[in-house]
Structure 1
């Protein structure tokens, strides 16, 4: 029996990144190594017709490429961290239905997927866990989840499309508390500027998704972020679309879009290393 996903629910917000991965894999098979999107979608009872229509447009297809590129970027950050601490914990904040851990699992690390209870319930019905993988239902702003993460061998946190929906003070408090508790850990996440944030909201409306608050963004420099805590050893950023690999085998239009997202939306992956 298929898992029913209703319109205007928390579970529906999982559909966009999931369907984006499917489309990106179909259209850019040499770039995208997605393993699970088709299998998950086949287990879901949901009307994908409006999503299919959107992703058949030039803008929609580029959006799918963006989502897939974001997963690649965060995968790179995890693998880089695991080179130094191969048995560290890999923590996927706001995991949704992505299977990032399967792409980085070296058999020695541990994977933790964190999201709201209803999301984790849906995830457990659609995705099998690996032996060294754990799902944790929680609110990220309730820091009691810290105690459920093994931290003694290092921790790398990633968040994909998550903090846009947090208020600035929530993000600041979370980052500061994490840096205090998880010594020598690292956090990598995607962000954009105010113009990019407006684009996120416009995208949701275009796809007839439930309207949600969109709050957090970062200006064109990282100085304010660096000042949040003395426990931040280093704060750095890379271009979202161009910082981890050059996408050569794509249409000229999409190469232009890549420049546009860099210059206008300041889409980037930020990494914070804790002392």
Structure 2
């Protein structure tokens, strides 16, 4: 939970004209935790790009959530595998509801560290146990999002979840990131290792989301490049090499943001 949190804080400090996450900055500053090891990696090329990657993912997802709320202002915004992320608050329009779902131990930590808005609640449940859906009101619309979550699901688990959501929440949508087979391999072997994360297994990938996620005639799929599909990443502080790597990520690693609408 801490590594992506710190990454969002770092990107806010390095590239404020591109990305701002006041929630991540405030939470990191309030924690009694030694970030010195992460601080030492702060200026390394790969770690800096990893933070940019996390920031672009959040920006893309926020763009999609806010677009949905323009049509359904009283919708429920559901953060799947929320960790310590407060994207729901960042997208709040003053009338939507916010639901954060994660494992019970994660929600226990979240409850200790983060205060909820009046229209916000946390649900402690494994995403593969669909009982959490009973806590989600979709009567005024619902937009689900999962950031960096489905990599650790089996393909059939992602499919089953999508199909269940499509049955329960007609008019809603799901937004999530994905990478291709090569991208997943590199993420597991390089990126996570560079961040000091081990003992995790990457499972789900898609090289062609428009074809490979077309599981039902009850869903509509759109997909854009993860790094450059929504924003051009133009900033005087972003290196040319980072932009080049971003293009490679979108084109070769098949890094994408996918939106599945339930029709």
Same fold (TM over 0.5): yes
- Judge conservation of contact 1:116–1:138 (CA < 8 Å) in 2: yes
Q: Secondary structure at the match of 1:222?
A: helix
Aligned to 2:198: 210
Q: Identify the residue that residue 271 of structure 1 maps to in structure 2.
A: 259
TM-score by length of 1: 0.91
In 2, Cα distance between equivalents of 1:201 and 1:245 = 26
Give the match's secondary structure for 1:188: strand
User: Which of the numbers 211, 222, 233 marks the counterpart of 2:210?
Assistant: 222
Q: Distance in 1 between matches of 2:213 and 2:73?
A: 28
- Give the match's secondary structure for 2:253: coil
Taking the aligned partners of 1:172 and 1:122, their CA distance within structure 2 comes to 29
1:182 to 2:181 alignment? no
CA-atom RMSD, angstroms? 1.3
Kept in 2, the 8 Å contact 1:185–1:274? The answer is yes
Question: d(CA) in 2 for partners of 1:45 and 1:200?
Answer: 29
1:106-163 Cα offsets, whole Å, 9 max, x none, are 1111000000011111111111110111100100001111111011111100110000
1:246 paired to 2:227: no
Using the alignment, how far apart are the partners of 2:250 and 2:62 within structure 1?
20
Secondary structure of the structure 1 residue equivalent to 2:22 = coil
User: After the TM superposition, which residues 36-185 of structure 1 pair with which residues of structure 2 at under 5 Å, given as runs?
Assistant: 36-185=23-172
Q: Name the count of aligned residue pairs.
A: 260
Task: Provide the TM-score with structure 2 as the length reference.
Answer: 0.95
Q: Secondary structure at the match of 1:42?
A: helix
Distance 1:115-1:200 versus aligned 2 partners, 3 A rule: same
* Equivalent residue number for residue 5 of structure 1: none
Provide runs of 4+ in structure 1 moved above 6 Å.
none
Partner-residue secondary structure (3-state), 2:110:
helix
Please state whether the residue corresponding to 1:36 is helix, strand or coil.
Answer: helix
* Preserved CA contact (<8 Å) 1:154 1:184: yes
The CA deviation at 1:221 is 4.6
SS at match of 1:152: coil
CA contact (8 A) 2:166 2:218 kept: yes
In 2, the alpha carbon distance for the partners of 1:211 and 1:144 equals 28
Higher mean C-alpha deviation, range 248-257 or range 36-45: 36-45
Q: Does 1:236 align with 2:231?
A: no
8 A contact 1:50–1:207 mirrored in 2:
no
- 1:1-12 mapped onto 2 (5 Å cutoff): none
Listed one character per residue, the Cα deviations across residues 9-45 of structure 1 (whole Å, up to 9, x for unaligned) are xxxxx11210101110111011111112222123334
Aligned equivalent of 1:258, options 231, 235, 246: 246
Cα deviations across residues 65-113 of structure 1 (Å, max 9, x unaligned)? Answer: 1101111111000110011110011000001111111111111110000
